[in-house]
Amino acid sequence: MKKINLFLWVLLFGVISCGKPHDPESLVSPDSAGGYVVLSRFATPASAQDVIVDDSMAFIAQGEGGLVIVDVTDPGLPDQVSVTSQDVRGYSTRIVKRDSVVYIAAGTYGVTVINVSDVESPFVTVSNLGMKPARNLYLFGDYLFTAVSELGVKIATIVYPTFPDVLGEITTAGYAYGVTTSPDSNLVFIANGEMGISVFDISDFAGGYGPYPLVTWTDMPGYAESVVLNEEGNIAFLACGNSGLQVVDVSDTTNLQIIGGFYYSGYAKALIYKNDRIYLAARRGGLQIINVADPYNPSLIGWINSEGAMGLDVQINNGREFIYVADETEGLIIVSSQAD
């Protein structure tokens, strides 16, 4: 099937060549398709795991190397600003940012909190915060939700952003790896590894202490690691490892229905939804851009091959997409669609 897909892509884009493109103006090659082009590749000091871009700065969690900040004002010429490794414990994976504070999931070493108000001289305010093993993070108003694998989801208040205060928890079946909430903030959706997706009622948030009743759960193909919703909150998209993208109708929370799916290659690790598109980091399957305007029939509209795409961020500027990929082998890869 993969050979057939590749043959169709070759016919569609008229590409007959070999090797990786050296010229960014070469928009299509066996390593890219759909009008997407690599603007630059920046070798991070350690293994890039996740990235978030804010105010022309890329904040990258990089495994044993802590945090690296890269100036991406010119996406074709990224420039390293600083590295923060002192007092950063564990293996830095997922990252979120609120104002001038970065939160990093560090596995068995919990959550690391870094003040980045001065991007040239960031410093750690909290290390080894007791929300562990920290797999993923989600910001919910003045609260930080941390997926802690077999222990479910821990909740901390970040009223004082540099010093989170751990409060309550959500107990889940399976291993919690990804978290998001409904647009009305009444429900939390959790990607639960081998146990698929679960939904909890947080309409009575009770200051982060709970308890929060289980609404429903549904088994999924593969291993659910990340979950996002569309704007209306009636469709959930999950990165499900070797089963790729899975699409779930969640409009009736008493009866979740898998309505679509898509697999091209690799291991679906992380995803972002914007404007009827899913941007998927699929490890050795690279970056994949999937049209989900029809959620019953997702379709691949572009890709960039890479060695180990683990996380990503997406910015849209004047209709042009800029995609920042954290690749554990290649570092930061900056990708763009064609200008309109």
Mean pLDDT of 307-315: 97
Q: How far is CA 317 from CA 32, 94, 127, 297, in A?
A: 21, 24, 35, 27
In this model, does residue 52 exceed pLDDT 70? yes
Given a cut of 70, is residue 203 above it in pLDDT?
Answer: yes
Average pLDDT over residues 81-94: 97
Over residues 8-25, the mean pLDDT reads 34
Q: What are 52's two structure tokens?
A: 């978030």
In this structure, which amino acid lies at residue 55?
D
> Which range among 16-25, 145-154, 196-205 shows the weakest confidence by mean pLDDT?
16-25
CATH number at residue 13: 2.130.10.10
pLDDT grade, residue 20 (50/70/90)?
very low
* pLDDT score, position 9: 42
Q: What integer best gives the mean pLDDT of the chain?
A: 91
> Could you report the per-residue pLDDT of 217-255, keeping only the tens digit for each?
999 999 999 999 999 999 999 999 999 999 999 999 989
CA distances for 130 relative to 85, 133, 137, angstroms: 19, 9, 14
Residue 85 pLDDT class (50, 70, 90 cuts): very high
Asked if 176 and 135 touch (Cβ cutoff 8 Å), the reply is yes
CB 28 within 8 A of CB 37: no
Range of lowest pLDDT (12-26, 102-116, 138-152): 12-26
As a whole-number percent, the residues of the chain with pLDDT over 70 amount to: 90
Is pLDDT above 90 for 324? yes
pTM of the predicted structure, to 2 decimals: 0.90
Q: What is the pLDDT of residue 94?
A: 98
Whether residue 19 has pLDDT greater than 50? no
Residue 338: its pLDDT value, please? 78
**317: domain range?**
2-337
At residue 38, the pLDDT reads 96
pLDDT tens profile 247-285 = 999 999 989 999 999 999 999 999 999 999 999 999 999
Across residues 80-93, what is the average pLDDT? 97
Least confident range of 29-38, 202-211, 232-241, 260-269: 29-38
Q: Under 8 Å CB-to-CB from 158, ≥6 apart: which residues? A: 98, 101, 139, 142, 143, 144, 164
pLDDT band at 21 (very low <50, low <70, confident <90, very high): very low
Q: What residues contact 253, with CB distance under 8 A and at least 6 apart?
A: 187, 199, 215, 216
188 pLDDT above the threshold of 70? yes
**How many structural domains is the chain composed of?**
1
